Structure 1
Amino acid sequence: MIAKLTGLLDETGPDWAIIDVHGVGYMVHCSAKTLTHLGIAGDRVVIHTELQVSETDQRLIGFASAGERAWFRLLTAVQGVGSKVALAILSALSVEELQRACANGDSAMVARANGVGPKLATRIVHELKDKAGGLAGLSGPAGIGGDPGMAAPAGSASADAISALQNLGFKPAVATMAVARAVEDLGEDAGLNELVRVALKRATA
């Protein structure tokens, strides 16, 4: 799976960008906030990606941070939320605002996004409230590997590592930051045991 692209911003459209990686142009569909973050044509960019495959289509979804990608995964796990609706939500709300809205049950804030009605917004905050409450605020476009703010998809090694550190008595923000730094050291495909080992060193350093 293509998880990240590093290259030059070649061209942008209303909801997409083309990233030139060594002469190969990858079209990625993005939220408005990610497109703004990418800058102008010719800029060197790093974009986290999610490959979506269906019977009729294959597309890369691009994100300014691993945290934004994690929220995209959480959103699309909610019934009735496809990639277009998820990107609309991420265009309307920053990851910090989305985390706060879900944690506080603020469906009106989520309903600000295009194509999201009151019923769907209520479903989103209801299903994601518990998950959002266990995550630190998600800040900064750098995400994992740059900013300690991070969202870990439920069931992922990162989420399990954060939970493990919290069970050992570390505060959520400290646990999240330590795991973010461990992911930075080990890479996003690191296993749970290695993440916990390195994160413990980071948390107690």
Structure 2
Amino acid sequence: MIGRLRGTLLDKQPPWLVVDVAGVGYELEASMNTLVALPGTGEPVTLHTHLSVREDAHLLYGFAREQERALFRALIKVNGVGPKLALAILSGMDEDAFIRCVMDDDVKSLTRLPGVGKKTAERLIIEMRDRFPHWQPAGDTLEGLGGAAAPSSAPGKDPLADAEAALVTLGYKPAEAAKMLSGLEGEPTTEAMIKAALSRRLSG
């Protein structure tokens, strides 16, 4: 089991990133909350990880905070929730927001997330309610990331197209992703654009 990686951030193409560890490039999938918090490419980074082993692939997921990984692992234990949906949930809201939805029986907010219908939202609330009795707020710290967040969109790339592709990967339909990103062209990076679109979706 690979539990943590410390190395240099080589590439960041939401929802994917590559971390160089002693000359080996590890490809990871991460939530948008983690991607937004990461430093720029070429900077040192430390990520908590979860390795998913399937018959056809070994998939590695990266998390900025231990609490985010803990919630991811709890989510994939819920019936009908796999790693892709768990990552989409964590991209749409942070750990504290999700726990508040569970504790407040907020089905409406959960159903705004891609792939989460009413029945899935109700199942999440029922199965997750008693799993975090001692949950502590994660706060805004970037502990373990190796540095402050920095703009990382490479010159020549189309941040809007990258943001739309990332949202589609998370489970949104192309037309829905385009609508979510409408008017956000002024955001400085692809990650910031995605984060703003997800926040708009959650509050809308």
1:137–1:103 Cα change, 3 Å: farther
**Structure 2: stretches of 5+ with no match in the other structure:** 145-204
Q: Which residue pairs with 2:162 in the alignment?
A: none
Equivalent residues in 2 for 1:26-41 (5 A)? 26-41=26-41
> Greater shift after overlay, 68-77 or 128-137?
128-137
Contact 2:37–2:142 (8 Å) recurs in 1 = no
Q: Which residue pairs with 1:160 in the alignment?
A: none
Equivalent residues in 2 for 1:68-147 (5 A)? 68-142=68-142
1:122–1:29 Cα change, 3 Å: same
Q: Name the SS for the 2:17 alignment partner.
A: strand
1:62–1:141 Cα change, 3 Å: farther
What letter is aligned with 1:106? Answer: D
**Structure 1: stretches of 5+ with no match in the other structure:** 145-205
Equivalent residues in 2 for 1:1-205 (5 A)? 1-142=1-142
**Superposed displacement of residue 48, structure 1:** 0.4
Q: Name the SS for the 1:131 alignment partner.
A: coil
Task: Report the Cα distance in structure 2 between the residues aligned to 1:136 and 1:120, rounded to whole angstroms.
Answer: 25
Contact 1:104–1:129 (8 Å) recurs in 2 = no
Task: Report the Cα distance in structure 2 between the residues aligned to 1:139 and 1:81, rounded to whole angstroms.
Answer: 26
Contact 1:101–1:107 (8 Å) recurs in 2 = yes
1:17–1:51 Cα change, 3 Å: same
Note the alpha carbon deviations across 1:82-109, whole angstroms, 9 max, x for none.
0010000000001110111112221222
1:141–1:112 Cα change, 3 Å: farther
Task: Report the Cα distance in structure 2 between the residues aligned to 1:143 and 1:108, rounded to whole angstroms.
Answer: 32
State percent identity of aligned pairs. Answer: 39
Q: Indicate the structure whose relative CO is greater, using CA pairs within 8 Å and at least 6 residues apart.
A: 2
**Superposed displacement of residue 126, structure 1:** 1.1
**Superposed displacement of residue 132, structure 1:** 3.0
Contact 2:11–2:18 (8 Å) recurs in 1 = yes
**Superposed displacement of residue 139, structure 1:** 2.8
With normalisation by structure 1, the TM-score equals: 0.66
Task: Report the Cα distance in structure 2 between the residues aligned to 1:78 and 1:141, rounded to whole angstroms.
Answer: 28
